[in-house]
Chain A
Protein backbone atom coordinates (compact mmCIF):
# COMPACT_ATOMS: atom_id res chain seq x y z
CA UNK A 1 0.00 0.00 0.00
CA UNK A 2 2.88 2.34 0.84
CA UNK A 3 6.31 2.09 -0.69
CA UNK A 4 8.96 4.68 0.14
CA UNK A 5 12.32 4.39 -1.59
CA UNK A 6 15.46 6.29 -0.61
CA UNK A 7 13.61 9.29 0.80
CA UNK A 8 15.74 12.33 1.58
CA UNK A 9 14.47 15.51 3.16
CA UNK A 10 16.29 18.52 4.64
CA UNK A 11 15.11 21.66 6.40
CA UNK A 12 16.80 25.03 6.29
CA UNK A 13 17.65 26.71 9.56
CA UNK A 14 18.92 30.10 8.48
CA UNK A 15 21.79 29.39 6.12
CA UNK A 16 22.29 25.87 7.43
CA UNK A 17 20.66 22.81 5.85
CA UNK A 18 19.58 20.27 8.48
CA UNK A 19 18.93 16.74 7.13
CA UNK A 20 15.80 15.09 8.56
CA UNK A 21 15.68 12.00 6.35
CA UNK A 22 18.86 10.66 4.77
CA UNK A 23 17.70 7.89 2.50
CA UNK A 24 14.84 6.04 4.14
CA UNK A 25 13.14 3.16 2.40
CA UNK A 26 10.03 1.46 3.71
CA UNK A 27 7.17 -0.82 2.62
CA UNK A 28 3.80 -1.05 4.40
CA UNK A 29 1.51 -3.72 3.05
CA UNK A 30 -2.26 -3.79 3.29
CA UNK A 31 -3.43 -5.49 6.47
CA UNK A 32 -0.22 -4.72 8.35
CA UNK A 33 0.70 -2.40 11.19
CA UNK A 34 4.18 -0.89 11.08
CA UNK A 35 5.49 1.08 14.03
CA UNK A 36 8.28 3.61 13.67
CA UNK A 37 10.25 4.34 16.83
CA UNK A 38 13.19 6.50 17.67
CA UNK A 39 14.37 9.46 19.70
CA UNK A 40 12.90 12.91 19.24
CA UNK A 41 14.28 14.59 16.13
CA UNK A 42 15.26 11.36 14.39
CA UNK A 43 12.90 12.07 11.46
CA UNK A 44 9.84 9.96 12.36
CA UNK A 45 7.23 12.68 11.91
CA UNK A 46 8.92 13.96 8.76
CA UNK A 47 8.71 10.43 7.33
CA UNK A 48 5.00 10.38 8.12
CA UNK A 49 4.22 13.74 6.49
CA UNK A 50 6.29 12.89 3.42
CA UNK A 51 4.58 9.50 3.16
CA UNK A 52 1.19 11.25 3.37
CA UNK A 53 2.10 13.86 0.77
CA UNK A 54 1.76 16.76 3.22
CA UNK A 55 5.24 17.80 2.19
CA UNK A 56 7.40 16.75 -0.69
CA UNK A 57 10.68 14.83 -0.36
CA UNK A 58 13.86 16.39 -1.71
CA UNK A 59 14.54 13.10 -3.50
CA UNK A 60 13.31 9.52 -3.52
CA UNK A 61 9.98 7.98 -4.41
CA UNK A 62 6.77 7.62 -2.42
CA UNK A 63 4.12 5.37 -3.90
CA UNK A 64 0.70 5.13 -2.25
CA UNK A 65 -1.96 2.82 -3.65
CA UNK A 66 0.16 2.35 -6.75
CA UNK A 67 0.58 6.06 -7.49
CA UNK A 68 3.87 7.95 -7.27
CA UNK A 69 3.02 11.08 -5.27
CA UNK A 70 5.67 13.12 -7.07
CA UNK A 71 3.84 12.57 -10.34
CA UNK A 72 0.67 14.24 -9.06
CA UNK A 73 -0.31 17.85 -9.53
CA UNK A 74 -1.25 19.89 -6.49
CA UNK A 75 -4.97 19.27 -6.88
CA UNK A 76 -4.48 15.60 -7.79
CA UNK A 77 -2.33 15.20 -4.70
CA UNK A 78 -5.14 16.56 -2.50
CA UNK A 79 -7.64 14.28 -4.23
CA UNK A 80 -5.38 11.25 -3.81
CA UNK A 81 -4.93 12.02 -0.11
CA UNK A 82 -8.67 12.40 0.39
CA UNK A 83 -9.33 9.02 -1.20
CA UNK A 84 -6.47 6.86 0.03
CA UNK A 85 -4.79 8.30 3.12
CA UNK A 86 -6.09 8.99 6.58
CA UNK A 87 -4.16 10.90 9.26
CA UNK A 88 -4.36 10.52 13.01
CA UNK A 89 -2.47 12.97 15.23
CA UNK A 90 -1.44 12.97 18.85
CA UNK A 91 -3.61 16.01 19.63
CA UNK A 92 -6.57 14.70 17.60
CA UNK A 93 -6.86 17.69 15.23
CA UNK A 94 -10.60 17.56 15.20
CA UNK A 95 -12.10 20.61 13.47
CA UNK A 96 -13.70 22.34 16.46
CA UNK A 97 -16.45 24.02 14.48
CA UNK A 98 -17.87 20.71 13.25
CA UNK A 99 -19.59 18.03 15.31
CA UNK A 100 -18.48 14.40 15.43
CA UNK A 101 -20.15 13.10 12.31
CA UNK A 102 -19.40 16.27 10.34
CA UNK A 103 -15.73 15.80 11.13
CA UNK A 104 -15.86 12.24 9.82
CA UNK A 105 -17.80 13.31 6.73
CA UNK A 106 -15.29 16.05 5.98
CA UNK A 107 -12.96 14.20 3.53
CA UNK A 108 -15.90 12.83 1.56
CA UNK A 109 -17.63 16.20 1.39
CA UNK A 110 -14.35 17.78 0.29
CA UNK A 111 -14.23 15.10 -2.40
CA UNK A 112 -17.59 16.26 -3.69
CA UNK A 113 -19.60 13.24 -2.54
CA UNK A 114 -23.27 13.75 -1.82
CA UNK A 115 -24.00 14.72 1.73
CA UNK A 116 -26.33 11.77 2.26
CA UNK A 117 -23.70 9.36 0.99
CA UNK A 118 -21.03 10.97 3.13
CA UNK A 119 -23.28 10.69 6.17
CA UNK A 120 -23.90 6.97 5.56
CA UNK A 121 -20.20 6.30 5.20
CA UNK A 122 -19.42 8.37 8.31
CA UNK A 123 -21.99 6.47 10.37
CA UNK A 124 -20.40 3.22 9.23
CA UNK A 125 -16.92 4.49 10.18
CA UNK A 126 -18.11 5.70 13.58
CA UNK A 127 -19.69 2.32 14.22
CA UNK A 128 -16.47 0.62 13.19
CA UNK A 129 -14.52 2.50 15.87
CA UNK A 130 -17.24 1.95 18.44
CA UNK A 131 -18.65 5.47 18.89
CA UNK A 132 -21.71 5.34 16.67
CA UNK A 133 -23.77 6.82 19.48
CA UNK A 134 -21.67 10.00 19.62
CA UNK A 135 -22.42 11.17 16.08
CA UNK A 136 -24.09 14.45 16.96
CA UNK A 137 -21.86 15.30 19.93
CA UNK A 138 -19.54 18.28 19.71
CA UNK A 139 -15.79 17.50 20.01
CA UNK A 140 -15.53 19.75 23.07
CA UNK A 141 -17.81 17.34 24.96
CA UNK A 142 -15.80 14.20 24.16
CA UNK A 143 -13.03 12.58 26.16
CA UNK A 144 -9.51 12.28 24.75
CA UNK A 145 -10.00 8.64 23.80
CA UNK A 146 -13.31 9.39 22.12
CA UNK A 147 -11.79 12.27 20.16
CA UNK A 148 -8.98 10.06 18.96
CA UNK A 149 -11.49 7.48 17.80
CA UNK A 150 -13.30 10.25 15.91
CA UNK A 151 -9.96 10.96 14.24
CA UNK A 152 -9.60 7.26 13.46
CA UNK A 153 -13.10 7.13 12.00
CA UNK A 154 -12.26 10.13 9.83
CA UNK A 155 -9.04 8.40 8.74
CA UNK A 156 -10.83 5.27 7.50
CA UNK A 157 -14.05 6.82 6.28
CA UNK A 158 -14.56 6.14 2.58
CA UNK A 159 -12.57 2.92 2.75
CA UNK A 160 -9.19 4.55 2.59
CA UNK A 161 -6.41 2.01 2.66
CA UNK A 162 -3.55 3.79 4.43
CA UNK A 163 -3.65 5.14 7.97
CA UNK A 164 -0.75 7.35 9.05
CA UNK A 165 -0.79 7.91 12.79
CA UNK A 166 1.52 10.24 14.71
CA UNK A 167 1.64 9.28 18.41
CA UNK A 168 -2.06 8.32 18.44
CA UNK A 169 -1.92 7.29 22.09
CA UNK A 170 0.53 9.95 23.27
CA UNK A 171 -2.09 12.20 24.89
CA UNK A 172 -4.23 9.42 26.37
CA UNK A 173 -4.33 7.58 29.66
CA UNK A 174 -3.55 3.89 29.53
CA UNK A 175 -7.19 2.75 29.43
CA UNK A 176 -8.08 5.10 26.59
CA UNK A 177 -4.81 4.30 24.83
CA UNK A 178 -5.68 0.64 25.01
CA UNK A 179 -9.10 1.21 23.46
CA UNK A 180 -7.65 3.27 20.64
CA UNK A 181 -4.96 0.70 20.00
CA UNK A 182 -7.56 -2.05 19.92
CA UNK A 183 -9.53 -0.06 17.39
CA UNK A 184 -6.46 0.57 15.27
CA UNK A 185 -5.50 -3.09 15.27
CA UNK A 186 -9.08 -3.99 14.41
CA UNK A 187 -8.92 -1.70 11.39
CA UNK A 188 -5.66 -3.31 10.28
CA UNK A 189 -7.23 -6.72 10.61
CA UNK A 190 -9.96 -5.39 8.35
CA UNK A 191 -7.39 -4.80 5.62
CA UNK A 192 -6.01 -1.30 6.24
CA UNK A 193 -2.31 -0.55 6.07
CA UNK A 194 -1.11 1.44 9.03
CA UNK A 195 2.13 3.30 9.72
CA UNK A 196 2.37 4.46 13.31
CA UNK A 197 5.00 6.80 14.73
CA UNK A 198 5.23 6.16 18.44
CA UNK A 199 7.28 6.19 21.58
CA UNK A 200 4.84 3.78 23.19
CA UNK A 201 6.29 0.29 23.62
CA UNK A 202 2.75 -1.04 24.00
CA UNK A 203 1.98 0.05 20.48
CA UNK A 204 5.22 -1.42 19.20
CA UNK A 205 4.40 -4.67 20.93
CA UNK A 206 1.25 -5.07 18.86
CA UNK A 207 2.80 -4.00 15.56
CA UNK A 208 3.57 -6.48 12.80
CA UNK A 209 6.87 -4.76 12.31
CA UNK A 210 8.90 -2.18 14.19
CA UNK A 211 11.25 0.16 12.38
CA UNK A 212 13.79 2.03 14.47
CA UNK A 213 15.22 5.32 13.24
CA UNK A 214 18.21 7.38 14.24
CA UNK A 215 19.49 10.63 12.72
CA UNK A 216 17.30 10.31 9.66
CA UNK A 217 18.17 6.71 8.88
CA UNK A 218 16.47 3.37 9.47
CA UNK A 219 18.84 1.53 11.79
CA UNK A 220 16.81 -1.54 12.59
CA UNK A 221 13.89 -3.24 10.92
CA UNK A 222 12.48 -6.28 12.61
CA UNK A 223 9.35 -8.01 13.84
CA UNK A 224 8.90 -7.28 17.50
CA UNK A 225 5.29 -7.75 18.05
CA UNK A 226 2.13 -9.19 16.63
CA UNK A 227 -0.99 -7.30 15.85
CA UNK A 228 -3.31 -9.99 17.10
Chain B
Protein backbone atom coordinates (compact mmCIF):
# COMPACT_ATOMS: atom_id res chain seq x y z
CA UNK B 1 0.00 0.00 0.00
CA UNK B 2 1.28 3.47 -0.84
CA UNK B 3 -0.87 6.01 0.94
CA UNK B 4 -2.89 5.30 4.06
CA UNK B 5 -4.47 8.57 5.06
CA UNK B 6 -7.25 9.38 7.51
CA UNK B 7 -7.14 12.96 8.73
CA UNK B 8 -9.12 16.01 9.76
CA UNK B 9 -7.51 19.35 8.96
CA UNK B 10 -8.84 22.73 10.06
CA UNK B 11 -8.82 25.44 7.45
CA UNK B 12 -10.18 28.68 8.80
CA UNK B 13 -13.65 27.96 10.17
CA UNK B 14 -13.97 24.70 8.23
CA UNK B 15 -12.78 21.21 8.98
CA UNK B 16 -11.76 19.08 6.02
CA UNK B 17 -11.86 15.33 6.48
CA UNK B 18 -10.28 12.89 4.15
CA UNK B 19 -9.75 9.14 4.36
CA UNK B 20 -8.41 6.77 1.74
CA UNK B 21 -5.94 4.00 1.01
CA UNK B 22 -4.21 3.55 -2.29
CA UNK B 23 -2.13 1.06 -4.23
CA UNK B 24 1.11 1.76 -6.05
CA UNK B 25 -0.28 3.61 -9.07
CA UNK B 26 -1.19 7.21 -9.61
CA UNK B 27 -3.98 8.18 -7.28
CA UNK B 28 -6.01 11.20 -8.07
CA UNK B 29 -7.98 12.95 -5.38
CA UNK B 30 -10.81 14.79 -7.12
CA UNK B 31 -13.10 17.41 -5.72
CA UNK B 32 -14.54 20.76 -6.72
CA UNK B 33 -12.54 23.96 -6.29
CA UNK B 34 -12.43 24.96 -2.65
CA UNK B 35 -12.99 21.41 -1.38
CA UNK B 36 -9.62 21.49 0.36
CA UNK B 37 -7.50 19.40 -1.99
CA UNK B 38 -4.42 21.56 -1.53
CA UNK B 39 -4.94 21.49 2.24
CA UNK B 40 -4.80 17.69 2.18
CA UNK B 41 -1.55 17.74 0.16
CA UNK B 42 -0.13 20.33 2.58
CA UNK B 43 -0.95 18.03 5.48
CA UNK B 44 0.75 15.08 3.77
CA UNK B 45 3.82 17.25 3.09
CA UNK B 46 3.89 18.45 6.71
CA UNK B 47 3.02 22.07 5.90
CA UNK B 48 -0.38 21.92 7.62
CA UNK B 49 -1.03 20.13 10.87
CA UNK B 50 -4.07 17.83 11.04
CA UNK B 51 -6.29 18.01 14.12
CA UNK B 52 -6.33 14.25 14.35
CA UNK B 53 -5.73 11.11 12.33
CA UNK B 54 -2.79 9.44 10.67
CA UNK B 55 -0.71 9.72 7.52
CA UNK B 56 1.26 6.64 6.52
CA UNK B 57 3.13 6.52 3.23
CA UNK B 58 4.83 3.32 2.11
CA UNK B 59 4.63 1.93 5.65
CA UNK B 60 6.36 5.02 7.04
CA UNK B 61 4.31 6.93 9.60
CA UNK B 62 4.55 10.67 8.89
CA UNK B 63 1.78 11.71 11.24
CA UNK B 64 -0.06 9.93 14.04
CA UNK B 65 -0.80 10.60 17.69
CA UNK B 66 2.60 11.50 19.15
CA UNK B 67 4.31 11.58 15.74
CA UNK B 68 4.60 14.65 13.53
CA UNK B 69 7.60 14.56 11.21
CA UNK B 70 8.75 18.01 10.02
CA UNK B 71 8.45 18.60 6.24
CA UNK B 72 12.19 18.11 5.68
CA UNK B 73 12.02 14.59 7.14
CA UNK B 74 9.01 13.39 5.12
CA UNK B 75 10.91 12.69 1.87
CA UNK B 76 8.12 13.97 -0.28
CA UNK B 77 8.55 15.49 -3.72
CA UNK B 78 5.91 18.18 -3.81
CA UNK B 79 5.17 19.82 -7.17
CA UNK B 80 3.22 22.92 -6.21
CA UNK B 81 0.55 24.40 -8.42
CA UNK B 82 2.59 27.61 -8.67
CA UNK B 83 5.89 25.67 -9.09
CA UNK B 84 7.66 27.84 -6.47
CA UNK B 85 11.06 27.82 -8.13
CA UNK B 86 13.53 29.90 -6.14
CA UNK B 87 13.79 33.18 -8.08
CA UNK B 88 17.30 34.02 -6.85
CA UNK B 89 18.80 30.75 -8.09
CA UNK B 90 19.40 29.53 -11.60
CA UNK B 91 17.69 26.33 -12.70
CA UNK B 92 20.86 24.36 -11.87
CA UNK B 93 20.90 25.64 -8.27
CA UNK B 94 17.18 25.01 -7.94
CA UNK B 95 17.78 21.38 -8.91
CA UNK B 96 20.79 21.09 -6.62
CA UNK B 97 18.97 22.58 -3.65
CA UNK B 98 18.11 19.20 -2.14
CA UNK B 99 20.98 17.38 -0.50
CA UNK B 100 21.63 13.66 -0.96
CA UNK B 101 19.56 13.32 -4.12
CA UNK B 102 18.68 9.75 -4.99
CA UNK B 103 19.09 10.34 -8.71
CA UNK B 104 21.73 12.01 -10.83
CA UNK B 105 20.88 15.61 -11.66
CA UNK B 106 22.13 15.55 -15.23
CA UNK B 107 20.35 12.31 -15.93
CA UNK B 108 17.06 13.71 -14.62
CA UNK B 109 17.57 16.97 -16.53
CA UNK B 110 18.22 15.00 -19.71
CA UNK B 111 15.24 12.74 -19.16
CA UNK B 112 12.87 15.64 -18.47
CA UNK B 113 14.15 17.67 -21.39
CA UNK B 114 15.51 20.58 -19.37
CA UNK B 115 19.27 19.99 -19.78
CA UNK B 116 19.53 23.09 -21.97
CA UNK B 117 17.85 25.25 -19.32
CA UNK B 118 20.31 24.69 -16.46
CA UNK B 119 21.95 28.13 -16.71
CA UNK B 120 18.65 30.03 -17.03
CA UNK B 121 16.87 32.07 -14.37
CA UNK B 122 13.38 30.85 -13.43
CA UNK B 123 11.74 34.12 -14.53
CA UNK B 124 12.89 33.50 -18.11
CA UNK B 125 11.17 30.09 -18.39
CA UNK B 126 7.85 29.41 -20.11
CA UNK B 127 4.96 27.78 -18.23
CA UNK B 128 5.76 24.30 -19.52
CA UNK B 129 9.49 24.65 -18.79
CA UNK B 130 8.69 25.87 -15.27
CA UNK B 131 6.58 22.75 -14.60
CA UNK B 132 9.34 20.48 -15.92
CA UNK B 133 11.95 22.09 -13.67
CA UNK B 134 9.59 21.88 -10.69
CA UNK B 135 9.02 18.16 -11.35
CA UNK B 136 12.78 17.55 -11.75
CA UNK B 137 13.48 19.42 -8.50
CA UNK B 138 10.89 17.36 -6.63
CA UNK B 139 12.38 14.13 -8.02
CA UNK B 140 15.83 15.17 -6.85
CA UNK B 141 14.61 15.82 -3.31
CA UNK B 142 15.33 12.29 -2.11
CA UNK B 143 11.63 11.61 -2.52
CA UNK B 144 9.81 8.46 -1.50
CA UNK B 145 6.62 9.70 -3.16
CA UNK B 146 5.37 12.56 -5.30
CA UNK B 147 2.58 15.04 -4.69
CA UNK B 148 1.14 17.03 -7.59
CA UNK B 149 -1.18 19.98 -7.11
CA UNK B 150 -3.03 20.71 -10.37
CA UNK B 151 0.19 20.60 -12.42
CA UNK B 152 -1.60 21.05 -15.75
CA UNK B 153 -3.58 24.12 -14.80
CA UNK B 154 -2.98 27.20 -16.99
CA UNK B 155 -1.04 25.26 -19.63
CA UNK B 156 -2.24 25.21 -23.23
CA UNK B 157 -3.55 21.76 -24.38
CA UNK B 158 -0.38 20.53 -26.17
CA UNK B 159 1.81 21.54 -23.19
CA UNK B 160 -0.65 19.97 -20.75
CA UNK B 161 -0.53 16.75 -22.78
CA UNK B 162 3.27 16.77 -22.65
CA UNK B 163 3.42 17.30 -18.91
CA UNK B 164 0.77 14.61 -18.32
CA UNK B 165 2.85 12.13 -20.33
CA UNK B 166 5.91 13.21 -18.37
CA UNK B 167 4.19 12.58 -15.04
CA UNK B 168 3.15 9.10 -16.20
CA UNK B 169 6.70 8.36 -17.31
CA UNK B 170 8.29 9.69 -14.13
CA UNK B 171 5.93 7.54 -12.08
CA UNK B 172 6.86 4.43 -14.06
CA UNK B 173 10.59 5.04 -14.49
CA UNK B 174 11.32 5.98 -10.89
CA UNK B 175 8.71 3.73 -9.28
CA UNK B 176 7.36 6.43 -7.02
CA UNK B 177 3.77 6.44 -5.85
CA UNK B 178 1.93 9.59 -6.88
CA UNK B 179 -0.84 11.48 -5.16
CA UNK B 180 -2.38 13.96 -7.53
CA UNK B 181 -5.13 16.48 -6.99
CA UNK B 182 -7.26 18.12 -9.64
CA UNK B 183 -10.74 19.47 -10.19
CA UNK B 184 -10.69 18.06 -13.74
CA UNK B 185 -11.69 14.39 -13.99
CA UNK B 186 -10.86 14.02 -17.66
CA UNK B 187 -7.34 15.15 -16.89
CA UNK B 188 -7.03 12.50 -14.18
CA UNK B 189 -8.34 9.81 -16.53
CA UNK B 190 -5.79 10.79 -19.15
CA UNK B 191 -3.09 10.04 -16.60
CA UNK B 192 -4.42 6.53 -16.10
CA UNK B 193 -5.02 7.43 -12.49
CA UNK B 194 -7.33 5.83 -10.01
CA UNK B 195 -9.87 8.47 -9.08
CA UNK B 196 -11.11 8.78 -5.52
CA UNK B 197 -13.09 11.32 -3.56
CA UNK B 198 -12.45 12.58 -0.04
CA UNK B 199 -14.19 9.55 1.49
CA UNK B 200 -11.96 7.20 -0.44
CA UNK B 201 -14.75 6.08 -2.77
CA UNK B 202 -13.83 5.21 -6.31
CA UNK B 203 -15.08 7.84 -8.76
CA UNK B 204 -16.09 6.94 -12.27
Chain A bound to chain B: no
